[in-house]
Amino acid sequence: MRESPSPDDVGLTTGTLARRLGVAPTTLRSWDRRYGLGPVERDGGRHRRWRPDDVAVVEAMCRLTSAGVPPAEAARAARAGADTPPRTAGAPSGRSRAAGALPLGADVRQECRGLARAAVRLDAPAVEELLAEAVERHGLPVAWEEVMVPALHAVGRKWESSGDRYVEVEHLLSWHVSTTLRRVTGPPAAGRRAEGAGPVVLACVPGEQHTLPLEALNAALLERGTATRMFGAAVPAEALAAAVGRLGPVAVVLWAQARSTASPALARQVADMRWGVSGARRGPTVVLGGPGWAGRSARGLPRPTGLKEALTLLSGG
């Protein structure tokens, strides 16, 4: 009797290899499409089979990207059979030209370290690739909370302690984070919503300019099919009230980064708004987002502590 062929002889399916590596199947397909890291041989059918040599290449890709190497550079090194990326003449050294490294904690993801290094180098293509790779590999909530936010906070702390020497780093990183968030879902869609319920309205309170956390929440809600209306920075109180009255939203998220901008009176005003026919009038759930609300009196209004908690509150997961 002939022995059954081993998995190495037959080759692994994309799903099996993805589980072995701890990545999503879409990540492997993306690496194949973008960088040519797919199986060398195809069986002629619908399913591709990954042989040992193919697996070794993507294992090297995983090690390199986890170490913070930009995906395109990691792919070149992986195809060459190296565990360290090649250096080319004139390429950036990877060391910041600014004084000192960014203040990242010891427990942050390696992707976050790579993103911070690329931002300090003002290496926009690497920043763009690392952000896209983080979202594709981990999903938006994890990529936001464990890769983007720590890097943004580190840049912000360095900016505060170094005068204006890091302002260009903060601006570049913020721009590319915003671009990545908008690319996750594409153009606004109608989204799913309960019968008769309006969308989720997202707005910064008057005087508040920090929109990135709201952009992340907006992208994550749209990704889950929840209809939204994003109004962005510093929405005047009168304009916010008018929009709520016209849209009849199921919820209103008010973002305040600073205590000086958080207004419990405005939050209560919006929470008390009502619409609909007599006997069936409805109002919005007002959700308070951002550190500015800490210590402010807004009894009865939910204040989620992060993106995942906000998603559970607003879309059930």
> Would you place residue 107 in the very low, low, confident or very high pLDDT band (cuts 50, 70, 90)?
low
- Residue 2 is predicted with a pLDDT of 43
> Would you place residue 67 in the very low, low, confident or very high pLDDT band (cuts 50, 70, 90)?
low
Q: 74, exposed or middle or buried, with CB in 10 Å at 0-12, 13-18, 19+? A: buried
First to last CA, the chain: 52
282-292 per-position pLDDT tens digit:
889 999 999 99
| pTM of the entire predicted model | 0.69
Over residues 209-232, mean pLDDT? 93
Q: 232, exposed or middle or buried, with CB in 10 Å at 0-12, 13-18, 19+? A: middle
- Residue 280 is predicted with a pLDDT of 62
Residue in 39, 63, 62 with CA at minimum distance from that of residue 52:
39
Does pLDDT of 65 surpass 50?
Answer: yes
